[in-house]
Amino acid sequence: MNKGRVSTQILLYFLMMLLLISGCSNGSDDFIVASSAPNTYSISGTVSGTTGVTINLTGASTASVTTDSSGTFTITGLASGEYTVTPVKTGSKFTPSSAAVTVSGGTVTVPDFAATPGTPLYSISGAVTGDVKYQVLITLSGAGSATTKTDTSGNYTLPNLVAGNYTVTPSLTGYTFSPSSLSPTVSANVTGQNFTSSAVAVSYEQADLTGTWNVNILRKGAARKEWERFRISVDSTGVASCIYHDSSTRVLLNQGGTLQSALTDSATSFYVNTGAIMPDGAVVVTIDAESIAGTYNSSTREITSCIRGYGGTTAAAHLQNTPVTYNNPTGATTCPIPFNLTLTMTGGVVTPTGTTALDLGISHMTMTSSKNLVAGTGTITDFSYQMAVMQKEETGTVYTIADVQNKNFVYHQLQVGKINQWERAAGQTDAGGAIRLTSLTSPSGSASDMPKALGVTFVLNTATGRVDMSGTTYESFQGFLSDDKKTIVGTFTDNISDPAAVDIGQNDYHLIVFQMDDQTYPAGALPDGTYVAHLLGIGSQFGWGYFTSTVASGAMTFGPPTTDKISITLPTSTSGSISASGVVTISGISSYHGQMSYDGKFIVGTRTLSDGVYSLQVDTK
């Protein structure tokens, strides 16, 4: 026996077993990378009356499959987006001749196609030009019915048509078309059925503000850093009433309460400069490191019968305008008393007035042309600077748990506190809503530990659209899901027991905007229009600014910026572009990274203004 040969065979055997064991391990890097692939979905349907029908898919991607013996078909591996499904078989006519479908977060079943023995089949084709050309719905009626959508160049085709009289009608919310429809007679392929689109001039009125709004605010000052959120109801005259309120610090009157005068270490009463978000009666407040027990009167804004150095703290003198903080031991989210806020609409500009408006510090806001989002900035008298984003609750919106499951998303956020920076990321939710990041970028660069499961799950209240996160890491998170199910705006404190589990910014405060990345955009020049940018800058300097940009054929020109305490440098003229995934970039502003909204009416982005100054920017269109 050749012992050397046997030993070699045994060694090879063990090496092969090690390779097999290694290859099967679910903890391998290969497994992690594979699981970070974007979510994909499918389109299915049935054709009756014949078999072996070719199903052609066009739109966000192309594919062809053949129906099985029962007439069914499924097209898999599809990203979210707009598609047209067309059945084709020589000698057969199909009703409808095609179907336009939207894939967004799940399997889509198209209406059944009915096949009948065919006569010669023809097509109608054309193009849409003008202010919009992509995703225009083309509806066919008459001798047959069908729907399709224009491609990124504005072209469309309606195939599989028998001879006869038809009507072709384009439609897209916010646009008119000339002509409004065409009526071709088909006896051969018909081409040149073209339309010109025109954007409907947007007019704003006070009624656009009527309804229920969710408001998220991030604030930064020399001595203050916090978030604040409201749910308010606005009546037909613009007067707002508070339904719900919460804040990260619960400072008197919407984070605006300060000592009216300097306080000695033995004084037994004092006044605050503004009202309070606490009830009348017994309270315990904190000034600097001292706790003070007393009795509060919201009418006079005085705290009397004070016990100084309460709870083992040390009585001390405090300077005028020092913040006065109320710790609500019940965790209740009490609305400010009094609540005096009026919102006035003038040509898309929303102006807040009233004592609560002064306390909130939001002075200039603009509304998107879709009229469901408002953004703005402003300053409080204690020189704190803030950004606010308002989302409207649309009556009749129906939410389901699936709205936050199996979604691809991007987010942009601004963080104030121990760490002052912007951050952006991309990721997905799984079938249970659990969140996983596939990339993360901050001013210091891209994170090296991606992909990464956050260990938290979106929890959607299907009655209200409110979004929370499970677990303790983001237990303070609360946001609102827009009526189109594509945007979540929220605030939170990363007050976790182990700050190293996320970052080193324990007790930092965040304003974050999630956008569901579930469609294909026409890549190329940034869509024409006028955009109003609002940004909050933090870091080595902090303040706010707003400015307009006008885009025409990709060329961007900027109006002079209005700023407070920060400097915004803008090129004289430049160009903007958008990718197929909706990422917006601006030539000459390399640090800017934005994401177009699903409806094309606002952009959320981050940008470094100067060394150590970081900003979150919301553009309304």
pLDDT tens for residues 169-181? Answer: 999 988 999 999 9
Give the other-Cβ count within 10 Å of 184's Cβ: 20
Burial class (CB in 10 A: 0-12, 13-18, 19+), 218: buried
CATH architecture group of domain 401-516: Beta Barrel (2.40)
Q: Provide the pLDDT for residue 3.
A: 42
pLDDT tens for residues 374-427? Answer: 999 999 877 889 999 999 999 999 999 999 999 999 999 999 988 899 999 999
User: Which of 594, 583, 589, 585 has the alpha carbon at shortest distance from 569?
Assistant: 589
CA 46 to chain centre: 36
Question: Does residue 31 have a pLDDT over 50?
Answer: no
Rounded Cα–Cα distance for residues 367 and 205 (Å): 11
Instruction: Report the pLDDT averaged over residues 329-352.
Output: 82
Give, in order, the Cα–Cα distances in Å from 105 to each of 27, 39, 317, 406, 598.
27, 8, 59, 6, 14
**Residue 297 corresponds to which amino acid?**
N
Q: Provide the pLDDT for residue 496.
A: 46
**Pairing assessment for the beta strands 99-103 and 72-78 based on DSSP bridges:** unpaired
Task: Check if the beta carbon of residue 361 is closer than 8 Å to that of residue 380.
Answer: yes
Task: Check if the beta carbon of residue 621 is closer than 8 Å to that of residue 601.
Answer: yes
Q: What are phi and psi of 504, to 5 degrees?
A: -100, 20
**pLDDT class of 327 with cuts at 50, 70, 90:** low
Q: Does CATH number 2.60.40.10 belong to domain 41-199?
A: yes
Question: Does residue 131 have a pLDDT over 70?
Answer: yes
**Residue 377 corresponds to which amino acid?**
T
pLDDT tens for residues 63-72? Answer: 999 999 999 9
Query: In the chain, what's the furthest Cα-to-Cα distance?
Result: 105
Radius of gyration of the chain (CA): 29
Give the other-Cβ count within 10 Å of 6's Cβ: 10
pLDDT tens for residues 243-256? Answer: 999 887 654 433 34
Question: Does residue 498 have a pLDDT over 90?
Answer: no
* Tokens (6 digits) for 514: 């999630």
Do 401-516 and 41-199 fall under one CATH topology?
no
pLDDT tens for residues 428-487? Answer: 999 999 999 999 999 999 999 999 999 899 999 999 999 999 876 788 899 999 999 999
Mean pLDDT score across all residues of the chain:
87
**pLDDT class of 28 with cuts at 50, 70, 90:** very low
Task: Check if the beta carbon of residue 459 is closer than 8 Å to that of residue 467.
Answer: yes
DSSP class of residue 6 equals H
Domain spans in the chain, listed from the N-terminal domain onward: 3-35, 41-199, 401-516
**pLDDT class of 495 with cuts at 50, 70, 90:** low
Give the other-Cβ count within 10 Å of 584's Cβ: 20
